[in-house]
Structure 1
Amino acid sequence: MTGVFLLNTGSTIEEGRLAKGGSKLTDDYTRECAVCEMNLADFLAMGSPDRVKVTSRDGHSVVVYAYGAEKLSSGQVFMPRAIWSNVVVDPETFSSGSPLYKGSPVKVEPSNDMVLSAEELTAKLYKLQKRG
């Protein structure tokens, strides 16, 4: 099952602790930030996938760990503000100078692909930019 959701991003306490502590290249940071938290019913309807591919309207995508939580409304997903969510955040600023960290429409679908570390994702994105 694939669904269209509204992506909201933001800082978490653990993300902040790891980022400010200089731990952005650790497995702990990846496990904390390379995630897509979904409404529990939406998560179960999708088959409780371990990983999902999140794709923006402009076709950029990232694979992250998935889990369900009752605190989110149906049709909403949350990702910590980090490199993984930045790949799919809508870049439109409406002249504000800040992208849409809240309410970006994204497609979410189960994935068997591996979750890349921050270092691996950066290298992949840089290579794509150089080819384009």
Structure 2
Amino acid sequence: MSLVVLLNSGSTINEGRLAKGGDKFTEAYKMECAVCSINPADFEVLGRPNRVRVAEVDGSRSVAVHAREDGSIPPGQVFMPRAIWANVVVDPETFSTGSPLYKGAQVLIEPTEDEVLSAKEITKMIMRRG
């Protein structure tokens, strides 16, 4: 089962604390940021997965992250901390603002058994595509 939802991304307190503290390559950063928070009803539809693949609707870019049920998320939307995992699927177009659209992009989410990569592994993956 898969769902097309709106992706919202933004800073969290712990993401900011870890990033500003120079801990972007730690397991703690990965556990804080390699996460997709999902509305409980949508989480149930997906089969309550441990991990999801978040992808652009056309499938051109995707990333595996931990799935987290979160009652504060509206149905049809997901939240990912603003970090390299979300950046994989956020459209890089800035419309001359210097900042991509971190809110409201359509993405496809589906359960996956894929490994959640570290920030270093994600960076290497992106560099290979370049």
Per-residue CA distance 1:15-38 (angstroms, 9 max, x = gap)? 011111111000000000000001
- 1:117 maps to 118
Structure 1 partner of 2:100: 99
For residues 116 and 4 of structure 1, what CA distance do their matches in structure 2 show?
23
Which structure 1 residue ranges, 4+ long, deviate > 6 Å from structure 2?
none
Q: Distance in 1 between matches of 2:62 and 2:37?
A: 16
Q: Structure 2: how far apart are the matches of 1:93 and 1:128?
A: 20
SS at structure 1 position matched to 2:19: helix
2:32 match? 32
C-alpha displacement of 1:95: 3.2
Q: CA deviation at 1:71?
A: 0.5
Q: Is the 8 A contact 2:4 2:57 kept in 1?
A: no
Counterpart CA distance in 2 for 1:60 and 1:67 is: 21
Deviations 1:78-117 (A, max 9, x none): 0000000001012233333321100010000000000000
Superposed displacement of residue 128, structure 1: 1.7
Match in the other structure for 1:80: 81
- Identity fraction in percent: 59
Q: TM-score when scaled to structure 1?
A: 0.93
Distance 1:7 1:116 in 2: 20
Contact 1:41 1:68 in 2 (8 A): no
Q: Using the alignment, how far apart are the partners of 1:51 and 1:126 within structure 2? A: 24
Aligned counterparts of 1:63 and 1:42: Cα–Cα separation in 2: 17
